[in-house]
Structure 1
Amino acid sequence: MGSALGNNMNASKPAASNPKNTIYSINQTTSKKGNKPHFVELIDEVTSMPVNNRLKEVRHDHRMNQTEFADFLGLSIYQYNRYEKEARQPTLEIALQISEKVKRPVNDIFYLTEEAPS
């Protein structure tokens, strides 16, 4: 992958409506016509999997309504509601903070669709 003549950079090509993202290596060697990369090499395909959560179950375990639980987590009710309904995904930092506050491993709360319990 790549040449000893130049540096390799990884660039992610965004997926339009395709659930697969393709990662390319751009060989930064100089072509005779200028200083532009002269080929792009396909490296790998990465399948994106939706992240789901068990926030509602965790909230019920704490015997709180959404407003109380959002307050407990230090989130606005609007933000928490969007996470619980999976309309938005929390950042990694927020997911880890939630995990700490409810004293459960992060992967007990957030999981990839293919990892859901049967």
Structure 2
Amino acid sequence: MGILVGYPNIGGTEKDLQLNFGLPISEQVEMRTPHLPAEWFPQSGVQLTWPHAGTDWAYMLEEVQQCFVQIAREIASREKLLIVTPEPDEVLKQIENQVNMDHVVFLQAETNDT
């Protein structure tokens, strides 16, 4: 599974871009001009790269992970959430009783994002 960005329908415009969680894209278009939508712009999901001991968060990992659980809860209460982590089983244990899991998708991947 990967994250793909494309037009949702043939004939879409740059304002119609959407995030697809492994779904087929009807049309692929080369973007020649960067488009960075505002935080309030309609979207089909949010990606979080989960903090773990192999990142710069190590010295305060527990506190940061608690914060990420709260962020995940708020996102998943409204829309799809993609969590990228090398340890999906560990993250699941942290969030499963606090987050709407119907809206959560995991992608297991090595990360070094802080």
TM-score bucket of the superposed structures, by smaller chain: under 0.3
TM-score normalised according to structure 2 size: 0.25
Determine which structure has more spread, i.e. the larger CA radius of gyration.
1
Higher relative contact order (CA closer than 8 Å, sequence separation 6+): 2
